Every structure is written in structure tokens, then in C-alpha cells.
Structure 1
Amino acid sequence: MTLHEVRPGPTGATPVVLLHGFPLDHRMWLDVAAALPAGRRVLAADLPGAAGAPVDLSEPSLESAADDLARELADAGIERAVVVGLSMGGYVALALAQRAPALVAALGLVDTKSTADADDARANRLRIALEALDGDTLEPVRPMATTLVGETTRAARPEVSERIAVWIDGQSPAGVAWSQRAMAARPDRTDVLHEFAGPVTVVVGDEDVTTPVAAAEHMVAAARDAHLVVVPRSGHMSAVEQPAAVAAALAELAQRADHA
């Protein structure tokens, strides 16, 4: 795992840590980071296997990714942070909140869900992992550049999908396989939201068909102190499709964390 300091900031404000979705890397967060208010440290992680980094395929685990992240944050001198994850990043954020709750001041859950995969979704992940490895290819995930964005974005801004396609091409088949197998093995973590004492913001694109609004509402209902933000004209990649709206939601969450 690599932790990138996207923007330095003072020690008084709670830092923000951004965790990317699949099959991408930390670059998907750069527009959101740029739109966050100044005066706050912002970091973004490349999760295991992202950006073509070597990965141990013997133990694909979101729990190990959360543990790695906790160590990286400690090495960066961060004791508490606003932890934000989109899709797979949200799964890691929930695992971190379960395994290192003192580290998580607030949770931002963007186009993600707290439940485990259904059997058919799990089988599809394992199929993609095998195809990527056996063929040493990214072909199984290249269509996601189009399918992950909302209908409005596909019709009006094809350059967004083109940008995502470049990021996908920067990944590796081994990294794709690791991520898919790790996500397939994850448990339901709705109980983590029940137990989490800090503020939560759940963000979802109104055109997200991968983790739809109903999945977001499920998390809001489970959490003690949660706000729901529905981003118009956006699909599963709301942080890329509508970064200003996502940044505004995360800025409000960070302010809540500062005063929690």
C-alpha cells in the first residue's frame, strides 16, 4: 500500500484520508481533494495491488488492507482521521472502523454498501479474477470505464469514461484478481455502523445502479449519526462525475468530526 499526501495541512484540523474504488487508484480522488476547503491535510491511498504494484495473491483480504492502512497512517503521524471510501474503498473504511475504531474520527461512505455480496455477485468476482490472471489481461474490467458512470455522464460527457479507462489501464491483472477475491470474501459489516460512535456521511449518485440509493439508505438507517447526500446526474463514480458535490459533502463531514 502507498499513502500519498495530496495536500499538506495544519495539525489542528482532522485530516481526510481517501480510499479509491475498483479497478482504480488514488488518482480518482484528485478532483475532490482539490475542491476540499484549504487548511486541512488530505491523503489518498493506493490500496494493495493498485497502480500496478506487486501484490501477494495468497492472502487477498480487505482486513489486511485495513491493517496496512492503519500502519501507514501511524507512520504518517496520524492518530485520528476522517476516513472516506468509494465502493471498494468504503469496504476498507468499514473494516478499519471495526479493527481500529480509535483511528476513525468520521466515516465517509461514497457509492458503497455495508452488506456482503450475494452468491451471484461473489461468483462473478471470482470469475473475473480468474480470467484476469489466466489471460494476464485487463479485458474483463475495461468495460467498467463506461458501466460505472451514470447515464447522464455517458450521454453528455464521454471524456469522463475516457479518463477512467486510462486509470484502469494503469492497473495489473494481479491487482484486479487480488481486489476481486478480497471483496468476494468480505462479510456484512452493517453492525459496524450500529457500533460506530462518530459522524457518518453516506454519498450516492442518483443514477448509481451498482450500489443504488437503497443501499445508501440502508447504511444511514444503521448508523447513529448519519447524513445522506444524493448526488444528481451521477452514477457509481460520483467522485469523478460530480467532484464538487462530493467535496462539499465531505467538507461538512470533516467539520462535524472537528467538533465531535
Structure 2
Amino acid sequence: MLLAEQGASHGVRWRLAVDREVDGETLRVWERPARTVGAPTVVLVHGFKEKWSDWSPLAGHLPGDGRLLALDLPWRNGSRHLWAERGSSTTWLERALDLLPVRPDAVVAHSFGATTQLELLTRRTGLPSAPTVLVAPVFRPHDQPVDARFFHEAISRFRGVLADGLRARLGPRAERIPEDIVEAMIGKVRERVEPHGFLQFYAMLGRTPELPLHLVSAPVLVVSGTHDPSAPPAAIDELLASIRDIRLYQDPALTHFCQLEQPDRVAQQVSAFLAEKAPYHNDEEAISA
């Protein structure tokens, strides 16, 4: 059912394709319809305190003939983050994917959403796994113990991500706003998100060292900044050593919110990966106009 329209990309408007309440949370799927029969369908999974429309800059640099499905998930911007009482982030992502009108040809996910998708890939071992792009994933390697130092570092990283996310969404406006006002805005964000939001972020970090990454059968591309603290070198090394079909693209110019701030560079890597791993197919599936 097509309920609304918002935004545009390559002259094609996004529209609300699914709007469903599931166990007390609203799950939505926004669609940019395909313009070419047989073009791949790509699902977009946003990160923590983000929203589906944060993918619009990247979508504008992706080929316009493919079908994009952007999920609107419970950890969206503005959430009270009580969703974890009714399931982990992986459970909620699986619920959202089950609402899709078609099986996706690929998944592109960012930050907290990327790690959630990675965890889901370790669980769905009996099903075909969609090629996945992990943009700036959050990951903790085995050799980092969960102690008081790690806890305080996690708080610092969480608050840093909140601040960077606000500045990324402000874009060029951030340079015109006095720094004290920006800091006050960041403080308001922290008031809304902590403590429930941090607890879910921390729980995710606590689970990543135990993920059975050897069970991931999907092709994986990791795109991140060389100096992104969310996935330090030890974490990247562990991902590369543990996942069978994985490749890495790192660029010192990429920020944690590179899908917003450097969408052209990210889109170039995503497009090349999809051309190889999720090419056009010849089925006769009807495409919405």
C-alpha cells in the first residue's frame, strides 16, 4: 500500500510502502521504485539515532535504475529506546525484513545498523544470505576486555557518535551556528537518548566478540574511515580474518557518517560491489511504477 511520498532521488520520489505496528513499535519501509526491470533491490539499514531519510545523499549517487527500500527502525532519531524490552536489535531488524514485499538482492547498513545486520548474518545460516555492505560498523575485538576502562571508553565513543551525528545532519549549517549553541543541542540529544540508548549500544559492543563470524556466508564489503574509532584496526583485522568472503575499503577522508558527509565516495564503492555481487536478473517480477 502506498501511503505517502517524500523526497526525490534521480527524479523518482520516495514513497511509504509499508507502515506496520509490531509489538508496540512502528516499522516502516520507504521505497524508491526501480526504473528498469531486473535491476537489483537494495535494502538500506540506518544506524543509531538516525532515520531512513539519512540515506538520501547516498541514494542520489547510486544508479537510478535500481529499487531501494529504506527501513525505518525502532532505534530511529526521536525514539525513547524502549524497544529492547521486546527484542534485540537483531530481532527487530529481522521483523522489518520480514515485512519487505520482495527478497532483497543486497543490504547496505550503517554503524549500529551495520553491526545488527552482521549479527543477523551469523544467525540465518540456513537461508541464502544477501551480499552486504557494512558502512562504518561498530565492532569490538576479542582482545578488549569488558572492564571499567572499556565502560568509560564506550560512554565516550557513544557520546562522540551522537555529537558527530548531529553535526553531520546539520551539514554546512553547523559552521554558521555558534559553538555554544551546537553544544547545547548536543546536550539535549544526550538527555533524550541516555541512558536507554547507551545501554543498547553497550550491549551491542558486548556481544560482538562472541559472534560466530565464520558462519557468515554472504559476500561482505566493509567501508570505513581509517581513523574511525568505532572499528579500530584490531577490529577490522578480526573481521577480515573471520569472514570467508570479505573485502575492505578504507579511506582516511571518510568520517563515521560518511554516507551523509562523503556520499559520492561511499556510493562508488557500493556501486562496484553491487555490480559484481548483485547484478541484474531476468525474472518477470512486476515493478511498481
Same fold (TM over 0.5): yes
| 1:59 pairs with 2:83 | no
1:250 deviates by 1.0
Q: Measure, in 1, the Cα distance between the counterparts of 2:187 and 2:76.
A: 11
Look up the match of 1:71. Answer: 98
| AA at the equivalent of 1:105 | A
1:163-212 deviation per Cα after TM superposition (whole angstroms, max 9, x unaligned): 9x8x9899796766554333322322675542222321111112312323
So what's the TM-score if we normalise by structure 1?
Answer: 0.72
Would the aligned equivalents of 1:61 and 1:183 in 2 still touch at CA under 8 Å?
Answer: no
Look up the match of 1:42. Answer: 68
Look up the match of 1:134. Answer: none
Identity of aligned residues (%): 25
1:99-142 deviation per Cα after TM superposition (whole angstroms, max 9, x unaligned): 335363201111114447853587459979xxxxxxxxxxx958
Unaligned ranges ≥5, structure 2: 1-26, 177-181, 281-289
Judged with a 3 Å threshold, the aligned counterparts in structure 2 of structure 1 residues 190 and 231 are, in CA distance, closer, same or farther, namely farther
Q: Measure, in 1, the Cα distance between the counterparts of 2:186 and 2:71.
A: 16
Q: Measure, in 2, the Cα distance between the counterparts of 1:234 and 1:37.
A: 21
Look up the match of 2:200. Answer: 182
State which structure, 1 or 2, has the greater radius of gyration over its C-alpha atoms. 2
Q: Measure, in 2, the Cα distance between the counterparts of 1:50 and 1:242.
A: 21
| AA at the equivalent of 1:245 | R
Look up the match of 2:273. Answer: 253
Judged with a 3 Å threshold, the aligned counterparts in structure 2 of structure 1 residues 196 and 56 are, in CA distance, closer, same or farther, namely closer
Would the aligned equivalents of 2:165 and 2:257 in 1 still touch at CA under 8 Å?
Answer: no
Secondary structure in structure 1 of the residue aligned to 2:83: coil
Q: Which moved more, 1:85-94 or 1:214-223?
A: 214-223
Q: Measure, in 2, the Cα distance between the counterparts of 1:170 and 1:39.
A: 40
Q: Measure, in 1, the Cα distance between the counterparts of 2:257 and 2:215.
A: 28
Would the aligned equivalents of 2:112 and 2:138 in 1 still touch at CA under 8 Å?
Answer: no
Would the aligned equivalents of 1:65 and 1:92 in 2 still touch at CA under 8 Å?
Answer: no
Judged with a 3 Å threshold, the aligned counterparts in structure 2 of structure 1 residues 127 and 16 are, in CA distance, closer, same or farther, namely same
Secondary structure in structure 2 of the residue aligned to 1:67: helix
Would the aligned equivalents of 1:148 and 1:237 in 2 still touch at CA under 8 Å?
Answer: no
How many correspondences in the alignment? 238
Secondary structure in structure 2 of the residue aligned to 1:112: coil
So what's the TM-score if we normalise by structure 2?
Answer: 0.66
Look up the match of 1:145. Answer: 163
Would the aligned equivalents of 1:199 and 1:257 in 2 still touch at CA under 8 Å?
Answer: yes
1:96 deviates by 2.5
Look up the match of 1:133. Answer: none
| 1:159 pairs with 2:172 | yes
Would the aligned equivalents of 2:36 and 2:65 in 1 still touch at CA under 8 Å?
Answer: yes
Judged with a 3 Å threshold, the aligned counterparts in structure 2 of structure 1 residues 50 and 158 are, in CA distance, closer, same or farther, namely closer
Q: 1:223 aligns with which of 243, 248, 271?
A: 243
Q: Measure, in 2, the Cα distance between the counterparts of 1:226 and 1:148.
A: 31
